[in-house]
Structure 1
Amino acid sequence: MNGYPLEVNRLTVAYQKKPVLRSVSFQIPEGQLIGILGPNGAGKSTLLKAVLGLLPTLDGEVSIYGRSYREQRKLIGYVPQRESVDWDFPTHALDVVMMGRYGQLGWFRRPGAKERQIAMECLAKVGMAEYAGRQISQLSGGQQQRVFLARALAQNAQVYFMDEPFAGVDATTEKAIIALLHELKEQGKTVLVVHHDLSTVKEYFDHVLLLNGELIAAGPTRETFTPDHLHQTYGGRIAMLADFSAVPAGKV
């Protein structure tokens, strides 16, 4: 495939005429785990939604491997924030995961035995096979998150966007998510993750984007996740550690 997995140029987004993102430009390398970091209200989730065409933009261009999102949507997997999902919708875990196959099938072909097998394999990868027939409303928060990760896996995408997949999950689910991210990376996939726990950034990500209304810095974690860049991004809301990592003074 030609071009970068994601290239953003001069992206500007506003809510009710108030700019949330201002002229953001960057390129993402292929086959990397990328953390998107910044304080609350910095525009992290807005960035994902604008890239995916879920929000209107005032200016800018987005390309996936050199072409528009509309042309490349089959290459994209998306895991939204858990809080944005209606978990009371009457459906089973297996049905949710099978929804990830519609992009490959088209909306007018019904999923068959092959799609069911793929969905079950994806549930097994996140440790949720035994819950395939369970209503999603009856699952815990961590289990619900794993079902949505399985749905993203079922899409067999090249570029994944995950909006705070670690938020509010238990340690077992967090380990399952990390294992999954590394598996995707080993397959050559590119994964962008909105993340707020600064203490795990160096361990989890190869590359970071630091946002606060505008792009503060982007690049390999070892070069970009620095005290200076973090101070520019978070101001006085972080406590610096001696090894130049950082932890939030509160949730950021």
Structure 2
Amino acid sequence: METSIGSLSRLQDFLNNTPTEVRKETIDLPEKWPQTGKVEFRNVVARYKSDNRDQQPPVLQNVSLQIPPGKKIGVMGRTGSGKSSLLYSLLGFLEYEGTIEVDGVDISTAQPDQLRSRIITISQDVVELDGTIRDNLLPFEKTWPDKMNLIRDEKEKAELERKDQIVQETLVRLGIWEQLQPKGGLEASLEDAGYSQGERQLFCIARAVVRRRLTDSRLVLVDEATASVDTWRDQIVRQMMVSYFRGCTIIVVAHREETIADSNRTVHMASGHIEKVEDWDNYQD
């Protein structure tokens, strides 16, 4: 089964069944990190975390790859080739030897939760959290308290209103806001939204767009995110990716070649190795 970066249930199983993360002394990431999105793998050998580490076969083997800032990289390969493991390693979910750096920071020194909150992810798996529409679209952000009168600071109130406006604008642009209005808007529960499978996929993309607008993070990991979306909505998603993720480094695990037709490079993987890299920026027919 193909592993996807956004599957909450799989990640929960992953965390429940693996030992506690033991890391070297951690650092606080710079406030605006990642500011450029430069990524480098150097001689990375990665495995799924286990108490019997030596018995786990590597899912990445001697991977070395440099990704310049602001480029779109497509990653292709059959199931089990290691393409999704490339994304997992960037999120700190794999044990590895070698070095992975983002904007010059060795990610093994970052606090895992902080690392994952700074990297934008979009997945074909629909992740739903208990709570309201607002809670689902702002999972890392402070949101409105249950009792409005608890907010006495005008600056705090203005910031919460700004976040709500960004969320609503994003849902409107994706065409999935109107049906929420009679159900309570941002206070509606995601369960009651009545979204179709394709609309739920758009909702996950909305979460990533909101995160980008609030943090200005420059690194986006995508596991082919429009598989359940119809053609015209797929075009909307592509337009939004261009609008809101301009200047970002985007790494796309692709199952269809058309998904990465506009990539700067294509990385082909097999059995955990990089088989070849095609550089379309320097391609000459």
1:12 to 11, 35, 45: 45
Q: Structure 1 residues 7 and 93, CA, compared in 2 at 3 Å: closer, same or farther?
A: same
- The corresponding residue for 2:199 is 143
Query: Higher Cα Rg: structure 1 or 2?
Result: 2
- After TM superposition, give the deviation of residue 218 of structure 1 in Å: 2.5
Q: Structure 1 residues 222 and 158, CA, compared in 2 at 3 Å: closer, same or farther?
A: closer
- The corresponding residue for 1:96 is 136
Q: Does 1:78 align with 2:134?
A: no
Q: Is the 8 A contact 1:26 1:218 kept in 2?
A: no
1:120 to 168, 176, 182: 168
Map residues 223-238 of structure 1 onto 2, 5 A cutoff.
none
- The corresponding residue for 1:36 is 75
Q: Does 1:167 align with 2:227?
A: yes
Q: Is the 8 A contact 2:37 2:70 kept in 1?
A: no
1:205 to 263, 269, 272: 263
**Structure-2 separation of matches of 1:68 and 1:113:** 36
Q: How many residues align?
A: 214
Q: TM-score, normalised by structure 1?
A: 0.72
- After TM superposition, give the deviation of residue 131 of structure 1 in Å: 4.5
- After TM superposition, give the deviation of residue 223 of structure 1 in Å: 6.0
- After TM superposition, give the deviation of residue 33 of structure 1 in Å: 2.0
- The corresponding residue for 1:194 is 253
Gaps of 5+ in 1: 103-108, 225-243, 245-252
Superposed CA offset, 1:66-119 (max 9, x none): 113437846421123415x3x4x54343331122546xxxxxx99722221222
**Structure-2 separation of matches of 1:197 and 1:80:** 14
- After TM superposition, give the deviation of residue 184 of structure 1 in Å: 3.6
- After TM superposition, give the deviation of residue 124 of structure 1 in Å: 2.8
- The corresponding residue for 1:153 is 209
Percentage identity across aligned positions?
26
**Structure-2 separation of matches of 1:146 and 1:100:** 19
Q: Is the 8 A contact 2:37 2:219 kept in 1?
A: no
Q: Is the 8 A contact 1:136 1:144 kept in 2?
A: no
- The corresponding residue for 2:98 is 60
1:50 to 89, 95, 111: 89
The RMSD of aligned alpha carbons is 3.0
Q: Is the 8 A contact 2:37 2:248 kept in 1?
A: no
The alignment partner of 1:99 has SS state of coil
Q: Is the 8 A contact 2:38 2:69 kept in 1?
A: yes
Q: Which letter maps to 1:61?
A: T
- After TM superposition, give the deviation of residue 214 of structure 1 in Å: 0.6
Q: Which letter maps to 1:210?
A: H
**Structure-1 separation of matches of 2:36 and 2:195:** 40
Q: Which letter maps to 1:209?
A: V
**Structure-1 separation of matches of 2:258 and 2:218:** 28
**Structure-1 separation of matches of 2:210 and 2:84:** 23
Q: Which letter maps to 1:206?
A: N
Q: Structure 1 residues 39 and 50, CA, compared in 2 at 3 Å: closer, same or farther?
A: same
- After TM superposition, give the deviation of residue 3 of structure 1 in Å: 7.5
Q: Which letter maps to 1:189?
A: C
**Structure-2 separation of matches of 1:172 and 1:136:** 23
Q: Is the 8 A contact 2:122 2:222 kept in 1?
A: yes
Q: Structure 1 residues 143 and 93, CA, compared in 2 at 3 Å: closer, same or farther?
A: farther
The alignment partner of 2:58 has SS state of strand
Q: Which letter maps to 2:218?
A: Q
- After TM superposition, give the deviation of residue 26 of structure 1 in Å: 0.6
**Structure-2 separation of matches of 1:7 and 1:205:** 18
Q: Which letter maps to 2:64?
A: S
- After TM superposition, give the deviation of residue 159 of structure 1 in Å: 0.9
